[in-house]
Amino acid sequence: MSQTLPESPAPALRVAIIHHWLVTMRGGERVVEALCEMYPDAEIFTHVYNPDRVSETIRRHKVHTSFIDRLPRARKFYQWYLPLMPMALERFDLRDFDLVISSDAGPVKGVVTSPDTPHVCYCHAPMRYIWGMEAEYLANAKRSARVAFPFIAHYMRLWDYAAASRVDEFVANSTAVARRIRKFYRRSAEVIPPPIDCDAFAPAPSEDFYLLAGQLVAYKRPEVAIEACNRTGRKLVVIGEGERLASMRQLAGPTVTVLGAQPYAVLRDHYSRCRALLFPGEEDFGMVPVEAMASGKPVIALGKGGALDTVVDGVTGVLFGRSTPDALIAAVERFETIESGFDPVRIAAHARTFDRSVFKRRMQIAIDRCLAGTMISPTQPSGSAEVLRYPNN
């Protein structure tokens, strides 16, 4: 009589997580952190790594860096080395991995894998500085950069388009990004919003000030919020750092307080106490508005980009059409006429649809689909690629 032998347990997947650089904890790094929680034995590959600036969750993983990490002042001026990143990326040895997940807003989707290794790309955005936003990035650049960058951008666009063909399944962080993936790469993308740690936020009674939070850079248009509050005498608190911090301090009038960079606890406290968040720039997704809503606070946002996925006009905030002080002032005045109708509990419940647990569950489904070979077709003809919308609840 033959005896049935017990089946051997399936070997654990060897997973590689690829991210452009790990030198701070912003939205992209929060995605990496959540992926690390999903795959606690995964190895991380990146161009530049500063362990002192990332979370303990990321530090627990084995991190491989490219040769760029050993170049002069790379941890601070890593973007200087953008032209070298495609070559550096292609030198990573990923032959022994069963799954590759790239977290991409730069040149990391182009990693070279073995023919049988599925590659899922979570795309925060096609590189803004080469796909349609060159003018914004070069507005305050030195003359040498303005002269050299068109040549670098041309080369990077050619490489980036080719790199997109190496991805088996794209996931976009917003509907706006999914449209750009379709436009620039001719690929489909499912939309899965990035993870928000909703448990970290809690409502508190509102005080008489508006809040502007995030990087103080040109495309986020911080001057629009400051000028609007200067003109109307409304109180505004600004939290964030970036290339425009000094100029925003100079622009600020007597009712505007520019705090600069602050600990996360201070930001959470201001979320909970503000009257509403002002969000005058166009973002790919924009975690800041969702964090404010998780604190029960309405958001007054430019009605473009990721805000169209996150802010429900008249329910969780107010949308306006143009990023100008006049348009923002009109939106604030509209908000104040209906302010009593905003329900902090309902706003926070809406933010829960973007919770970290939702992200991990939906990403696991997308990854399992890719592993099973039932991925969104990477070869759909131009113009026919379907964008999959996520449910709001």
Q: Indicate which CATH number applies to the domain containing 296.
A: 3.40.50.2000
257 with 132, same domain: the answer is no
Q: Classify residue 87: in a domain, yes or no.
A: yes
pLDDT tens for residues 19-37? 999 999 989 999 999 999 9
Residue with tokens 């182009």: 110
State the average pLDDT over residues 372-379. 55
Confidence of residue 60 (pLDDT cuts 50, 70, 90): very high
Confidence of residue 136 (pLDDT cuts 50, 70, 90): low
- Flag whether pLDDT at 390 surpasses 50: no
131 with 184, same domain: the answer is yes
State the average pLDDT over residues 160-176. 95
pLDDT tens for residues 212-247? 999 999 889 999 999 999 999 999 999 999 989 999
Contact 277, 211 (CB under 8 A): yes
Task: Give CA separation, 151 vs 83, 109, 127, 140, 154, in Å.
Answer: 10, 21, 16, 18, 5
Q: In what order do the strands lie in the sheet with 236-239?
A: 256-260, 236-239, 210-213, 277-279, 299-302, 317-320
Question: What CA–CA distance (Å, rounded) separates 307 from 147?
Answer: 34
Question: What CA–CA distance (Å, rounded) separates 84 from 71?
Answer: 11
227 with 141, same domain: the answer is no
Q: Classify residue 102: in a domain, yes or no.
A: yes
From the list 316, 358, 207, the residue with the least C-alpha distance to 271 is 207
135 with 90, same domain: the answer is yes
Q: Classify residue 219: in a domain, yes or no.
A: yes
Question: What CA–CA distance (Å, rounded) separates 190 from 371?
Answer: 16
pLDDT tens for residues 348-361? 999 999 999 999 99
Residue 257, C-beta contacts closer than 8 angstroms, at least 6 positions apart: 235, 236, 237, 238
254 with 129, same domain: the answer is no
Q: Classify residue 393: in a domain, yes or no.
A: no
The number of domains in the chain is: 2
255 with 327, same domain: the answer is yes
Task: Give CA separation, 334 vs 164, 228, 320, 339, in Å.
Answer: 43, 14, 10, 8
163 with 37, same domain: the answer is yes
- Flag whether pLDDT at 49 surpasses 50: yes
Contact 344, 19 (CB under 8 A): no
From the list 113, 102, 43, 49, the residue with the least C-alpha distance to 75 is 49
Q: What is the pLDDT of residue 151?
A: 77
State the average pLDDT over residues 1-21. 72
Question: What CA–CA distance (Å, rounded) separates 316 from 203?
Answer: 14
Q: Classify residue 388: in a domain, yes or no.
A: no
Range of the domain at 237: 198-354
313 with 378, same domain: the answer is no
What rounded mean pLDDT belongs to the chain?
A: 90
Domain harbouring 364, CATH code: 3.40.50
Q: Classify residue 3: in a domain, yes or no.
A: no
pLDDT tens for residues 304-333? 999 999 999 999 999 999 999 999 999 999
Question: What CA–CA distance (Å, rounded) separates 299 from 276?
Answer: 6
Residue with tokens 């600990």: 263
86 with 184, same domain: the answer is yes
31 with 145, same domain: the answer is yes
37 with 110, same domain: the answer is yes
Chain mean position to CA 192: 11
- Flag whether pLDDT at 380 surpasses 60: no
Residue 71, C-beta contacts closer than 8 angstroms, at least 6 positions apart: 81, 84
pLDDT tens for residues 274-312? 999 999 999 999 999 999 999 999 999 999 999 999 999
Question: What CA–CA distance (Å, rounded) separates 177 from 241?
Answer: 25
Q: Classify residue 364: in a domain, yes or no.
A: yes
240 with 349, same domain: the answer is yes
pLDDT tens for residues 72-82? 999 988 888 98
Q: Classify residue 146: in a domain, yes or no.
A: yes
Contact 20, 121 (CB under 8 A): no
